[in-house]
């Protein structure tokens, strides 16, 4: 299981999100479209690169999915705290945080939403680095895992 995946349904559930009105959304697809709007060229003060790393991971990891159009802005607070058990991995995230801080650029992560909520499929070190930098949101390619029987649509 991805270390960023939430183990339980928490504050990102629609009924508990007073900041957004989901009453007109007719499906899970529409709700996540509202929750994570299209991002601009700059997110959290960082210029968004057009490059999306490891996009082939989507098809390798999921059977039935929907990819939202455009790059989306995801709230960091919707994801668990990062970190790795391995010291070398943590140092890698720290070095990456310094690189991002200096360059002021970020490549979009790949975020998947399944029946348990959102998680980072690709870009775990970037997510960890962004947490170290204290950003509130990050750019991502948003993917809805529709499962094997379209239960989320």
Contacts of 136 (CB under 8 A, 6+ apart): 44, 75, 76, 77
CA proximity to 78, closest of 10, 147, 127: 10
- Going through 10-153 in order, the beta strands assigned E by DSSP cover 42-43, 46-48, 65-67, 72-75, 105-106, 109-114, 117-122, 137-145
pLDDT tens, per residue, the chain with 153 residues = 333 333 333 334 444 555 566 666 778 899 999 999 999 999 999 999 988 989 999 999 999 999 999 999 999 999 877 666 678 888 999 999 999 999 999 999 999 999 889 999 999 999 999 999 999 999 999 999 998 654 555
Q: Are 74 and 118 in contact (CB under 8 A)?
A: yes
- Going through the chain in order, the beta strands assigned E by DSSP cover 42-43, 46-48, 65-67, 72-75, 105-106, 109-114, 117-122, 137-145
CA proximity to 69, closest of 32, 24, 21, 124: 32
For the chain, the structural domain boundaries read 35-82+105-123+135-145
Q: Are 82 and 4 in contact (CB under 8 A)?
A: yes
Residue 140: per-residue pLDDT: 97
């Amino acid at each position: 299981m991805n270390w960023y995946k939430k183990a339980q349904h928490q504050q990102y559930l629609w009924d508990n999100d007073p900041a957004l009105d989901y009453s007109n959304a007719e499906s899970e697809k529409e709700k996540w479209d509202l929750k994570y709007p299209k991002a601009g060229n700059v997110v959290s003060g960082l210029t968004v690169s057009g490059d999306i790393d490891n996009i082939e991971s989507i098809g390798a990891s999921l059977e039935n999915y929907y990819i939202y159009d455009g790059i989306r802005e995801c709230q960091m607070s919707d994801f668990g705290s990062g970190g790795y058990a391995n010291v070398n991995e943590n140092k890698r995230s720290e070095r990456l945080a310094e690189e991002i801080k200096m360059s002021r650029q970020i490549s979009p992560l790949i975020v998947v939403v399944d029946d348990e909520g959102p998680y980072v499929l690709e870009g775990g070190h970037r997510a960890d680095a962004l947490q170290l930098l204290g950003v509130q949101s990050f750019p991502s390619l948003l993917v809805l895992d529709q499962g094997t029987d379209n239960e989320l649509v």
